Amino acid sequence: MGRVLRVLHRQWGIDLAVKTPKPEAFGTDEQRERFVREAEAWVALGLHPNICGCHYVRAVDGFPYLFAECVGDGSLHDWIADRRLYEGGPAVAVARIVDLAVQMAWGVGHAHAAGLVHRDVKPANVLLDIQDGDLVAKVTDFGLARSRPIAVEDDGGPSHGAGVPVSAGGRTPAYASPEQLSNRPVGKRIDVFSLGVTVLEMFTGGPRWGSGPFANDTVRERHGSASYGPGLLPLPPELGDRLERCLDPDPDQRPGSMAAVARELADTYRELTGDRYWRLEPKAADLRADELNNRALSLLDLDRDVEVADAFAAALAADPQHADATLNSGLWRWRDGEITDEELVADLDAVRIDTDDAWPARHALGLVHLERGDLANARTLLERVDHEQPGMRDVAEALDVLGSGAVPDADCVGTTEVRWNPPSDDDSYASLVTEFGKERRRPTVDAQRVHEVLSVMEVPRSSDASYSDRFCATTVLHGDLNQIHETATYGWQLGVEPS
């Protein structure tokens, strides 16, 4: 994946992991698009306690970045390497290993239910999170192995290196099933195989085989006998029998689903500890409006407008009073000329009322007023938010802009009523009305375009007035295209031209 950075999401108030792929991972546009599709499939998995959630994908300088859940207690590979996995004595460690195995099966099984095969289950792709003393397994990097088209030689020989095995061609050879290594058609049972290898490694302390098909030989070598090395645990016969089934070279002989694997592992837990397995199988939560809103923004970065609309609609269906989704959806539609700024303000004001004047709605309203040039309302709203939520960087930046004088006030300072004299050509008139309608919905308008519109209206120019590059205009149409009069209300800033 290249580098992984830890960043603070200012609005959510949580840390996220930003995954930055290596530039050489995308030799072609097709590879980049495949990476984005795989990442979006991971995002679509939603929230599950045994999955490291991917919140959204954003393009930065044309390069995709993944923003995922930050899990700060290391990977299963780390815990095996530094022997934290075996703390507390053999009985406690065996119970911990089987518990983690059940959780991994649940996480991968959730992806399977959503139609997504991981393809690269291994200890480095399992993150561990200590939650109130409880060790939780979270499977990560769903589907991303397939977007790493790198050829690697595999001689099948022993591998005793302490480094992290590297993915190649959609797999890591030490954990790959025979059908993956032979490039045969694959299905969900390749993940069953790789999970079996991962559980085995928790007893061997590292991959003692060059490629996945040799892992079952390791199971048979020490099945129920001594440990695989100092500080490690013997493989219990009850677990070894079940791992042999997971590692069968024939995929049809492996367990048919991750749910079946989880049930068998839960039975193993009871057999080894004498206690019933205590966790209940979790259910996935629906995507929150936050995730859907950010997914829409990532699609917007990727110029996927149809999917942007669907994602914003889903976010607002999940939470009709979600201020950020209302703001971002409205800004997108306003800037595209689909709605007016007045409609966006009305939508956000409705959210503010429905949420009892909550600060997120006032924050969103303040930003819109700033963009549309209503500086008085922008200042009132943003100063209140700054007082209630001190330290918000984007609020401080907006207030700095307000105080800089860089944004002109777009208040209307005068109105007049003129008659519309449409061109005789109906098509050119319709084109002009459409163009004018789009211009007036934008927050800023070029001064030359203002003069062009006003000249069509036959507005007399004053020698002692200059038109502002920000103006407001509303139209009321009467009649059909052959006999149309329009009343236009517009504003300008008076100022004496320099002599």
Q: What is the pTM of this model?
A: 0.65
Evaluate the CA torsion angle 92, 95, 101, 105 in order and state its sign.
negative
Res 159 pLDDT > 60? no
H-state helical runs in 235-340? 237-246, 258-273, 289-301, 305-318, 323-335
Structure tokens at 295: 């997914």
Q: What is the mean pLDDT of the chain?
A: 79
Cα–Cα distance, 305 to 302 (Å, whole number): 8
Number of H helices, E strands in the chain: 17, 8
Distance CA 326, CA 345 (A): 10
Q: Work out the pLDDT band at 38, boundaries 50, 70, 90.
A: confident
For 219, residues 6+ apart whose C-beta sits below 8 A from its C-beta are 200, 235, 240, 243, 244, 247
Please give the structure tokens belonging to residue 439: 């211009």
CB 183 within 8 A of CB 191: no
Closest-CA residue to 39 (of 14, 67, 72): 67
Q: In the numeric block, which tokens belong to residue 399?
A: 């207030």
Q: State pLDDT tens for residues 187-211.
A: 999 999 999 999 999 999 999 898 9
Q: Is residue 5 helix, strand or coil?
A: strand
Q: What CA–CA distance (Å, rounded) separates 1 from 203?
A: 27
Give me the pLDDT at residue 143, please: 66
pLDDT confidence of residue 9 = 80
Active site residue ranges: 120
> What is the structure's pLDDT at 351?
94
52-87: per-residue pLDDT in tens?
988 888 877 778 888 999 998 999 999 999 999 999
CA 216 to CA 451: how far, in whole Å? Answer: 80
460: pLDDT confidence band, cut at 50, 70 and 90? very low
Q: Are 288 and 53 in contact (CB under 8 A)?
A: no
139 with 211: CB under 8 angstroms?
Answer: no
Q: Which of 184, 224, 34, 215 has its CA nearest to residue 122?
A: 215
